[in-house]
Structure 1
């Protein structure tokens, strides 16, 4: 160990340089020939690279992303449940009104029956009580009858 790092001798390291080795071109199997209808052959495009090389190939249309379907802010199920609740409330309101109508109609009919009974009963009472003072009817006089040993003596 050196006591002073300033007096430490520099370490020499060897520098290794690696050069890329080119791979030999592999002979590829010929591509299958696909019959193409005339008129459907795409146009050939050539591009000149900055180093002067020319790349030739068919122009390929860029892939179009699938259209994104816009989802509604509220799901259809939630809308259906809400509409069902509104319909149920409307039906309940109608049933309450119908029940109230039936109760009112029942009370009205009951009052009509009571009124008819009072009027008819009053008419009967007038007929009964006015007949007792009326002298135009048949008068039957009942005498004392004596019944002896199952014989009527009149």
Structure 2
């Protein structure tokens, strides 16, 4: 168990026996004679077998693959309909906002005019009342009673 071992060299690959490596070469199959009638097949359904010889002498056999053709690209408009509709809605809203600003300005101006008219009417009516109360011009048609000597007997007025 405790036998000395040879040092392992990490830089050199391990040497294997040449007899342990087996090389397999494909053997071609002999063609089979056709006894049954051939059924016609559509061309292009079974691709042809292709053999390629590599630079080191190996032969690779397989089916040739056709490149995948991409589906045709559907031409889309540069801008989506939803974006156009949103933009048009924004333009319409901006146009309406100008009218709404003018409408609110008109309503505020009308309210201010009514307010001023009410104040003007109060001033004019109040002035007219003041003139009526404080005027010193003659009698306006009321009854004036001058009391100089008044005698009241038994709740009766004698003037």
User: Normalising by structure 1, what TM-score?
Assistant: 0.48
